[in-house]
Structure 1
Amino acid sequence: MTLHLRRAAATSLLCGVLVAQPLMGTAFANPLDALFAPTSSDSAPGQPADAPRFAGVDNFRDVAGTGAGYTGADGGHVRKGLFYRSNAVVPDDADLATLEDLHAAAVYDLRTPDEVSAKPDRVPAGAAYVNIPILSGDLTGAAAQLRSPEGARAFMQDMNRGFVTGSGERAGFRQLLTELANTDGPQVVHCTAGKDRTGWASFLLLSIAGVPRETIMSDYLLTNEYSSASIAATRAQIVAAHGEQVAAIYTPLLGVEASYLEAGIAELDAIHGSVENYLKDGLDLDGGIIADLKDTLLG
């Protein structure tokens, strides 16, 4: 099995295909729908509102964080209400109405065609839908090769390294960042679980804004809190269908661990030395695009 297919399988599993396609011969229902009710998104007076919480889109959040927003370059705060990160955009009617109140200009779907067809987005009115597929391959077949939790973790680490070294991955992130820079208004970036491809995109945006890496890591790990109910439900589905031993193998794929993002960052540092060099040399981004993103993020 090639490294490309291993990364593809890992991303597919982690972004939700695990519960939508057969695993070792058995299909099981998708538990990623409506697992907790929306909660209040009140902010302190004078602060932009936090991102709303949705019943069926549990990992929807503002790239800038909550409260005043993450602190970036020169002590400025990352602007809220501009870039959102999410899992699959499949809101119910009530949540769709709330989502439309954000007036998103575009929704960027980083999933493969198979993922999209399994769970199509419900795009809010007025938003352009842009599919930028990242990764491909025989996802189910490659996933079936996993035999240990350590192997699953290696999958995740390989996948994050691939965001640095893979030509298709780099082309996808180049297109995404270019679209984000050239589009006015709030925008949503997502994959299926909103944590791996979307997590790397968020890492890049926050790095452009000058947010410290320890803050970026804390933000990355928030998936385990936002999606805790769906992660637990998915694991229970695997136990019911395949037993505890198989569930233990696949558990590392359901959430995020620091070592996953760290693997990608280490690869980036080793090859390019800095995020700026990765953006310019690895993604072949024009300096003007990077400057526009920084200006937008810090306002």
Structure 2
Amino acid sequence: MPRKVLQLDGGFNFRDLGGYPSAQQTTVKWHRLMRAAHLANLTAADCQQLEDLGFKLVVDLRSTAEAQQFPDQLGPQMRRIHLPVFDNDETESAASTAQIQRLFARDPLGGYHRMLRVYRRLVTSPQAQQAYHELFALLLATQGKTGVVFHCSAGKDRTGMAAMLILRALGVPPQRVIADYLLTNSASTAHIAQRVAAVAPGPRQQNFQQSVRDLASVQLDYYQQAMGLIDYEYGGMTAYLRDTLKLTATDEQKLRHWYLA
């Protein structure tokens, strides 16, 4: 059985979506879909490992500023396509400790509330909707013939939403999708700890520290914020995929043919 979480020297939260069961008594193919954090620190050996597994296409969901500041490191056989979900890093995944402190030092729930707003925007923003529409178009264009890595800065929010949408389009049951979403926390343990540890200790830092933790991790509340909005404002996931992301029934059948086994 291939490993769900890929261990890389210069990357974290790299997770193969292979192996998840679908409602059609099939499973998602291994080494076709990889969700990930940024690729800016990948080593040559990391890139070779991805290429050896068949991952040749990288889809960068970060803003232009993030991508320019921390450019992806790619192997010679890998190509990158940029599909920014937002114009800036609304998730604060790439923000400095000082920037986060200015925004969230006073309120222990500041980071938590920020993330709830982000997940509403992931569903309702026209730019996010267009990015996810184009991501599906790329998956259809590749026909499952090459592995696709899609990523943002921490691989949890913009990437997390992409994974939710893809898995649901492939017929993976919601409980499995939730489990994949929450796996971010255990796959990013060192990264989350590093972000929290960057907060200077002190009696007045607890609010700030809690916000940093909420910004650096995922919670079921964030997932439910997005799914609840899709259910109540868009008529459910099937309607959202068809009417908002323009994924036709034929498109869905093709995706299941190419990405399920």
TM-score, shorter chain, exceeding 0.5: yes
Work out the CA distance in 2 between the residues paired with 1:138 and 1:55.
Answer: 25
The structural deviation recorded for 1:279 is 1.1
Q: Which amino acid aligns with 1:98?
A: Q
Which secondary structure state, in structure 1, belongs to the residue aligned with residue 114 of structure 2?
A: helix
Deviation at 1:137, TM superposition (A): 4.6
Task: Describe how 1:1-299 pairs up with structure 2 within 5 A.
Answer: 43=1, 50=4, 52-64=6-18, 69-89=19-39, 90-137=41-88, 144-146=102-104, 147-183=106-142, 184-239=145-200, 243-299=205-261
Kindly state the Cα deviation for residue 51 of structure 1 after the two structures are TM-superposed.
5.6
Distance change >3 Å, CA 243–CA 209, structure 1 → 2: same
Q: TM-score, normalised by structure 2?
A: 0.87
287-296 vs 263-272, greater mean Cα deviation? 287-296
The answer to which of 253-262 and 287-296 deviates more is 287-296
Partner Cα distance (1:135, 1:280) in 2 = 22
For 2:51 and 2:126, locate their aligned partners in 1 and report how far apart those are by CA, in whole Å. 35
Query: CA offset at residue 50 of structure 1?
Result: 4.9
Shift of 1:267: 0.3
The residue matched to 1:105 in structure 2 has which SS? strand
Query: How far did 1:288 drift?
Result: 3.0
CA-to-aligned-CA distance 1:194-230 (integer Å, 9 cap, x gap): 0101101110111112211111111111111011011
TM-superposed CA distance for 1:293, in Å, is 1.6
> Superposition RMSD on alpha carbons, in Å?
2.3
Secondary structure of the residue aligned to 1:53 is: strand
Structure 2 spans left out of the alignment, 5+ residues: none
Instruction: Indicate the structure with greater strand content.
Output: 2
> Could you say what secondary structure the match of 2:9 adopts?
coil
CA–CA separation in structure 2 for the residues paired with 1:71 and 1:138: 33
Q: Which runs of 4+ in 1 moved over 4 A?
A: 48-51, 137-143
Q: Is the 8 A contact 2:170 2:252 kept in 1?
A: no
Give the 3 Å change call, closer, same or farther, for CA 185–138 of structure 1 in structure 2.
closer
For the residue of structure 2 that corresponds to 1:169, the secondary structure is helix
Mean CA deviation greater in 164-173 or 137-146 = 137-146
Report the number of matched residues. 249
Distance in 2 (CA, whole Å) between partners of 1:193 and 1:83 is: 17
CA contact (8 A) 1:107 1:128 kept: yes
**Cα distance, 1:171 vs. partner?**
0.7
- Judged with a 3 Å threshold, the aligned counterparts in structure 2 of structure 1 residues 212 and 138 are, in CA distance, closer, same or farther, namely closer
Cα offset, 1:152, TM superposition: 1.6
CA distance in 2 between partners of 1:252 and 1:105 (Å)? 33
Deviation at residue 148 of structure 1 after TM alignment: 2.1
